[in-house]
Structure 1
Amino acid sequence: MIPIEPVFIRSKEILTELVSLLDSERSAYGQLDNQTIVQIAEQKRALLDEMSMLNERRINILIKFDILDRDNPLEDDFKTWLKKQDSSMDDTRLLISECEALLSKCKTKNQTNAHILHTLQKRNKHLFELLQGHSSKNKVYTARGSTQPVSSKHTLGRA
């Protein structure tokens, strides 16, 4: 028996925590709570680091049991091997399926949060330009072909 099930159990726990953190992150974006956003980012980084270590551990176990090639370990080789196993590996198959579903959920929530963050950044940039007296009508092209606002002499800061 290959001792890989504990790796997937912990992976599932991490992915469940990530789903929860991504929900909290979205809420923090809505409330514009910078401290919470930074704390969540640190927690996400720690969980992703642990997930990376678990993945390395899983690959090393599979290499040790000659399921994966040492020089070129491929995920498809593991899945092919797993399909050929008897019903004693059903719990592992179920764990992998649950992890894949949670990973998909994490990716979707992360993309949503990225869109929200991008929108907030655009809004803040626009507000900052307004405070500096820049107008979207008064832009010039830079040497690289992008646009750059031209300052006005009448800024809100000088009013």
Structure 2
Amino acid sequence: MKPPIVNLDALNPQPLPPQCAPTGLAAERYAPRIARIGAQFGARKLGYSLIVLEPGKRAFPFHHHRVNGEMFFVIQGAGEVRIGSEQHAIRAGDIIACPPGGSATAHQIVNTGTQALRYLAISTMLSPKVVEYPDTGRQAVLVADEPDVKGGLRAVFRASDSLEYWDGE
């Protein structure tokens, strides 16, 4: 059996697959390259990935999780993290904690530096995943029996578009 050890130098972060990649104007702002480390070792309860952002790019929209917590460890580069209503400078060696919760725990990392920003993203993998995006009023729910399994239930919506409980019954 191969030991569950990998060196960061051996990882090859890749752009998001076409079905998940941002399009239109979003493609100009969001361009993460990701190496999903946990999946290589069969991790089921904890997700860990290496994320690489080029200058001026973001990995994901400003968001918060209702169920899962995240932690980021900056390996190389500099940037900013927006947490709630505040912006904070970040640099190599920083650890960023983003517990589950409401809009005060919303977060987004941006590479404001001049070189690639590399960081580890570590998160719990509890289902359902419930994510809210305060800037756009969107919500997302993902229910899957296994992490990163295709299928299950995935919905992105605005609460204002939600049906009443008894509609159509």
User: TM-score w.r.t. structure 1 length?
Assistant: 0.24
Query: Over alpha carbons, which structure has the higher Rg?
Result: 1
User: TM-score w.r.t. structure 2 length?
Assistant: 0.23
Larger strand share, 1 or 2 = 2
Larger helix share, 1 or 2 = 1
